[in-house]
Amino acid sequence: MKIINEVKQILLLFSLCLIIPFCVKAQAKEEKQQIINVAILVYDGVYVLDFTGPLEVFYDSYSKDGNHLFNVYTVSTKEELKAHSGLKVISDYNINNCPRPDIFIVPGGDLELLKDQPELKKWMINTAKDSKTLMSVCTGAFILADAGLLDNFNITTWHGALDNLKKMVPTANVIKGVRYTDNGKVVTTAGVSAGIDGSLFVVSKYYGKEAADATAKYMDYEYWK
């Protein structure tokens, strides 16, 4: 009986040795494939391509087995708003029910967006702090600057607003002639269409340049290198 029990114990240990690595690998694979949340702030006066360019990039980024790499959505202080071109936009979420984003994008349009909106400013600062990546598009840099989120960084914006951005953030290094800047967590982009470049760059930071190249090819965006 003693020998039988010892044999059972050996078999049990052997089974555990086989099962545990499999479970660890399965868990690691599940974590690796966990989808990444991308929140894009929208508001009255937002520039259309500033937010739809990044939205398209992240939505069109797929894994090799055809699954979405990102869960991209819009968030606002109200359900329906009007972009600077007059386009009506219905936001997916408001700031009270928005899923926690890993990537938070602030497009340009209204440079004084946070004026007289303390609740939005507080939410934006907290969301930026909790996010892994924060990105401004075009004059969205002014909104981040207003929230005190660009001090001492290398930053850029629309070419016609570079000097004003420098006045607003004197501690920052405002760079001309670039499509985007990378400060690790904080990415800023030049005007309007440069939000596509910045978004592709962020895709490459998460999944490698091959994934970003595949997205750019899918979008026929030959400007990306």
Residue by residue, DSSP assigns 45-67 as: T--HHHHHHHHHHHHT-B-TTS-
Distance CA 215, CA 209 (A): 10
Distance CA 199, CA 208 (A): 13
DSSP class of residue 21 equals H
Nearest in space to 41 (alpha carbons), one of 135, 126, 112, 116: 135
User: In one letter, which amino acid is 90?
Assistant: I
pLDDT in single tens digits along all 225 residues of the chain: 555 555 455 545 555 454 445 444 444 444 455 789 999 999 999 999 999 999 999 999 999 888 999 999 999 999 899 999 999 999 999 999 999 999 999 999 999 999 989 999 999 999 999 999 999 999 999 999 999 999 999 999 999 999 999 999 999 999 999 999 999 999 999 999 999 999 999 999 999 999 999 999 999 998 877
